[in-house]
């Protein structure tokens, strides 16, 4: 585990800062750009792609680049009004991509994934719905965003769960039970990211802690501006991390029913999410003074363990639910 002083955390570079954006229409250049964005921005991507067949790696890069660019349009906009304009144009580009008329290089690459795999537009549109939700809260100046856990989970269904559903769909998995397990894992990953980034989100004017949980623990917004987390906030985060762990546990059976080629990567993300929860616990649930992270070598060890353990897991008949 490594930690960073929360006050020194800087914003990540945007998708368009990570690599030169190629001219539209060149598929090879568009795919290379998506690979660059994914590998340079997201360390887990490089590790995870070693756990899936080569034929899926470009598709995963295309999906990641789409999600990263979409998120950056809101987080890095000069104003909510600019974000609204950019998101509207980006959504129009998504619709054109799915009818075979991609314009932006990310959409040129994504259109090829759609052509080869038959992905549908719905989960991609749901991601944009979540980013629009963040933009609307920013425009209204709303800090504490969700009244209770049900509302926060509903946000995660748009902001996180679609990614897991897209990955399963790459292998043709549409089983309702498998999708529900995937949703649990993706929601849990989003939750531990929130609890890891309480300080970073607060500095951006965003609070994802449920309002009723804050009230029950006596946590005020002012406490989120302290140099160290007061005891009530630590108690709240202990409870929220426990909730995330419950979601990981609910999603774990996916390892037995997902398409076999995806299971090692799923196992790595499951273990990685739990490792973040452990890291938060080890800093005493004070993510105001320190942002707990999982180091590169720990991630590699988790990936190796996920791959190795699943080599001896019997596949379900037919290679997983579809």
pLDDT digit string, tens, across residues 79-130: 999 999 999 999 999 999 999 999 999 999 999 999 999 999 999 999 999 9
pLDDT tens by residue, 22-43? 887 899 999 999 999 988 865 5
Determine, yes or no, domain membership for 316.
no
Q: What are the Cα distances from residue 119, in Å, to 9, 41, 59, 111, 116? A: 36, 24, 11, 10, 8
The CATH number of the domain where 197 resides is what?
1.10.600.10
- How high is the pLDDT of residue 317? 36
User: pTM of the prediction?
Assistant: 0.89
| Burial class (CB within 10 angstroms; exposed 0-12, middle 13-18, buried 19+) of 122 | exposed
Q: Considering the chain, what is the average pLDDT of its residues?
A: 88
Q: How far apart are CA 159 and CA 134, in angstroms?
A: 10
3-state secondary structure of 141: coil
Determine, yes or no, domain membership for 315.
no
Mean pLDDT across 246-256: 97
pLDDT tens by residue, 35-82? 999 888 655 666 777 888 999 999 999 999 999 999 999 988 889 999
Determine, yes or no, domain membership for 34.
yes
Q: How far apart are CA 254 and CA 267, in angstroms?
A: 9
Determine, yes or no, domain membership for 123.
yes
Determine, yes or no, domain membership for 284.
yes
Determine, yes or no, domain membership for 82.
yes
Determine, yes or no, domain membership for 220.
yes
- How high is the pLDDT of residue 306? 55
Contact 64, 38 (CB under 8 A): yes
Q: How far apart are CA 141 and CA 291, in angstroms?
A: 25
Angle formed by the axes of helices 27-41 and 54-75, to 10°? 70
Q: What total of structural domains would you count in the chain?
A: 1
- How high is the pLDDT of residue 54? 93
Taking the alpha carbons at both ends of the chain, their separation in whole angstroms is 37
Determine, yes or no, domain membership for 205.
yes
3-state secondary structure of 291: strand
Q: How far apart are CA 185 and CA 180, in angstroms?
A: 9
- Tokens describing residue 79: 């104003």
- How high is the pLDDT of residue 320? 42
Domain that holds residue 197: 2-310
């Amino acid at each position: 585990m490594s930690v960073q002083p929360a006050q020194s955390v800087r914003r990540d570079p945007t998708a368009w800062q990570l690599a030169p954006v190629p001219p539209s229409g060149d598929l090879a250049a568009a795919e290379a750009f998506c690979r660059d964005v994914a590998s340079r921005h997201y360390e887990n991507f490089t590790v995870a792609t070693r756990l899936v067949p080569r034929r899926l790696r470009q598709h995963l890069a295309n999906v990641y680049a789409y999600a990263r660019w979409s998120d950056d349009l809101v987080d890095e906009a000069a104003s909510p009004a600019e974000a609204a304009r950019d998101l509207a144009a980006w959504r129009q580009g998504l619709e054109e991509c799915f009818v075979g008329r991609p314009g932006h290089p990310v959409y040129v690459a994504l259109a090829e994934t759609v052509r080869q795999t038959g992905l549908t537009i719905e989960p991609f549109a749901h991601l944009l719905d979540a980013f629009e939700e963040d933009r609307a809260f920013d425009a209204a100046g709303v800090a504490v965003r969700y009244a209770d856990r049900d509302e926060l989970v509903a946000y995660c269904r748009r902001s996180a769960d679609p990614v897991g559903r897209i990955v399963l769909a790459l292998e043709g998995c549409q089983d309702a039970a498998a999708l529900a397990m995937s949703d649990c894992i993706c929601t849990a990953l989003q939750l531990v990211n929130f609890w890891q980034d309480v300080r970073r989100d607060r500095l951006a004017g965003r609070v994802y802690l449920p309002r009723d949980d804050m009230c029950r623990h006596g946590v005020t917004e002012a406490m989120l501006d302290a140099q160290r987390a007061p005891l009530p906030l630590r108690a709240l985060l202990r409870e929220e991390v426990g909730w995330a762990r419950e979601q990981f546990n609910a999603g774990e059976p996916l390892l037995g029913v997902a398409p076999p080629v995806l299971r090692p990567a799923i196992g790595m993300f499951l273990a990685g999410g739990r490792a973040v929860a452990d890291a938060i616990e080890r800093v005493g649930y004070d993510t105001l003074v320190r942002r707990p992270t999982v180091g590169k070598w720990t991630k590699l060890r988790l990936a190796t363990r996920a791959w190795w353990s699943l080599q001896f897991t019997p596949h379900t008949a037919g290679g997983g639910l579809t």
